[in-house]
Structure 1
């Protein structure tokens, strides 16, 4: 390595302890001085970013914290604890240009508010504000990432940097770099004064606005001294930014490095609209009322006509459904009225016959000769059996004569024997009825009346009731 390069490296390492640590905070994913790198997306236009709301989509990246947007105070960059350095960094680059930032710095010893330009080769332009110094702003620059403690400048600010917003502007061309404060020029850098142009910032830049702790206890001693002392994290520290105007003096889609010299002459510009340009100029999502107002009158008339036709169809369908349901309801009401009338007529008939409708009783099951099945029968007896009214009008007559006769009772001892030993011993004898008419004393299924319930115990396999074996 040449002796000059060794000396330069040693000087850089030594001076980095005593100069602003902003350069140490910066990094690059790919340095075009050392390798071929992807192109940088361009801004290719100018735009005022108002931080009363979130910036347009895909224009800035937010790191190490959150920004709270407010219509009156703008974006609030708050550092609440160690490790936070709330920063907005643009997704676009500008190749020579201008920025104007309205900013109120954060208070607090060791707290640094900053406006930084940086390139892939670590060219850099800064505005810095120390929270422990309310009266001054600080300007700085670096070329090719090489720190130089002689590059910084101190500038008094009327009204102070902590209590009010001020306009901090940089204007950058290949001929000169200028720092402006509230519309007044306070510093100018010429290329010949930056190591004969080699350290003059001259490659495409991105914009970063953020707050960080130069006085963090873990920072190098020189950094803590430059920042004004150790940072106190017991309370939050907030920087406010109302707006940032950015103008790209070049127009195009992207910027790339033609060689590894890091000079402005090596930068190639690809023509076309940049992604940032398209995002900034993208029309906001329109509401339905806005879309409707933009329709031609003929289209609106067609929509009205179609809507009217659909409405008419729906109305006809609704009317048809209404009358259909009404007709069904009328039919159901008529059936209900008919059943009610039948119930009324039946109730009147019961009353005329002297019957109590509430006296319905279950009489048991009777045998149906046709089906051979037992069916349930309900009746309305005029009086219960054994009452003073006597037997029913058509009582069973075992003689088969027309004159009614009560069924004789069987002897208890005979039935008891029979129940105890069904199918054995002599068949039970039925006593003679009180009638004088001759009767057949035998009893078999062939001449028995219809039985109720089950057939009862069987004496033998032939179905005879009480027959001999």
Structure 2
């Protein structure tokens, strides 16, 4: 088996037991094993200020959310289990320099980190343990192979959590250097990394993030390295104000010429990188900025249109106000008129000596029933020869026992019961029609049998039967089916013209 094959097998075996510090890094395509797409190059030097969202297309956010503040910069916060918010660059740099101004997060087992990583899992680290407020760890890995003897711890003046510090790395094909606030801290020579085999030497991307190495689900060795179990009872936040990234190479993209994973295999495509275009793209303008950019003629047109709309609105408002004012005047005049009428009426009451509050309603009140009122035939209409109406019959009055009950009509077809028929009225009948009514020729006197005395009866009158004759069948029972004798249109017997 070749040395290269043995190296690949060892890499797989060691990755299976690797620390989660390495396990946090992944690659979509590893050029040690396959032909992979080219990596977009930064190709320039740029400082990213995190008081606002970085330029579109330059960084991706993973495993949580990152907040941005003008004073404190980017905030990476763990609020609960499973969160590890991270910013990962979309660009790569091939040898270069980074300067990150960072304030580490507190919390046992909480790891704040600055990480470089490549597609073949070369790695350069700054790591801050939340339980260690005074020191920072520097480390590196080659080809994803963990070597935990590579870590070193360095004191930080003033502590890592109290304030921001500048953490810088300078990287060439020959050596890698670490600086804290411009003070040189560590140097790694390429030849000292297993004769350059494990020396980081392939295009890198930048990651800024926070994660819980002390999570209870992590392996025991990782929890011990992180400083202990993480308690999620409170949030933990790392802050980053800015990050300068300098790419020592210039070009559009980087690709691997073979599966060796060495710097000599890297090919650089010429041209402008996507990162440079994204960085140099003008930010989205505000409304005020867009307005200022408009030509004067366009602004004048907008002003004129706005003025026209305003004039129309003003005219409509004036018309509406005038109409409302006119309506108000009319209503006020009507109210004044009513008030004046009331005043005149009160003055009249005072002159007449009347108290307006003592006035009572003197009209006729409608009674819904007529059960207690004696029925009386209305007065004859004006010009009638019938004369005044007779006095109403009272069945409870004096002489009621011998008095005859009044009839509804007093004409030739009505007979007074219990008394002689007046000679001027004509034939009489009782209410039960004891004998048939005979017709006679004109000029003949009717032959009427002698009346039979009838005892008084207690009869009541219902308004519903007011249109029917007493004692005769109504129209519902077949009455009035034949022409009436002596209809009102012909002369009645007993009445002279």
TM-score (norm 2): 0.64
Aligned to 1:396: 380
Tell me how large the CA RMSD over aligned residues is: 5.2
CA contact (8 A) 1:408 1:431 kept: no
Aligned to 1:97: 96
| Corresponding position: 1:455 with 2:467 | yes
Unpaired runs of at least 5, structure 1: 365-384, 420-426, 444-450
Higher strand share: 1
Aligned to 1:376: none
CA contact (8 A) 2:251 2:268 kept: no
CA contact (8 A) 2:81 2:232 kept: no
Aligned to 1:209: 208
Q: CA deviation at 1:109?
A: 5.3
Q: What is the number of residues matched between the two proteins?
A: 420
Q: CA deviation at 1:123?
A: 1.6
CA distance in 2, matches of 1:53, 1:150: 39
Aligned to 1:230: 228
Deviations 1:211-251 (A, max 9, x none): 334455554454455x2643352765543333222233445
Distance 1:462 1:323, change over 3 A: same
Max Rg structure: 2
Aligned to 1:303: 302
Aligned to 2:186: 187
Of 456-465 and 86-95, the range deviating more from structure 2: 456-465
1:406 paired residue among 389, 392, 400: 389
CA distance in 1, matches of 2:70, 2:135: 27
Aligned to 2:493: none
| Corresponding position: 1:87 with 2:86 | yes
Give 1:178-327 correspondences, 5 Å limit. Answer: 178-216=177-215, 218-225=217-224, 227=225, 229-233=227-231, 236=234, 237-250=236-249, 254-264=253-263, 265-269=265-269, 271-272=271-272, 274=274, 277-278=277-278, 281-287=281-287, 289-324=288-323
Q: CA deviation at 1:116?
A: 0.5
Unpaired runs of at least 5, structure 2: 353-358, 368-372, 396-400, 430-462, 487-497
CA contact (8 A) 1:347 1:357 kept: no
Q: CA deviation at 1:61?
A: 3.6
CA distance in 1, matches of 2:326, 2:428: 68
Aligned to 1:429: 415
CA contact (8 A) 1:47 1:245 kept: yes
Q: CA deviation at 1:112?
A: 3.1
CA distance in 2, matches of 1:336, 1:170: 91
Deviations 1:109-152 (A, max 9, x none): 54433210112221211112344555443322222212334544
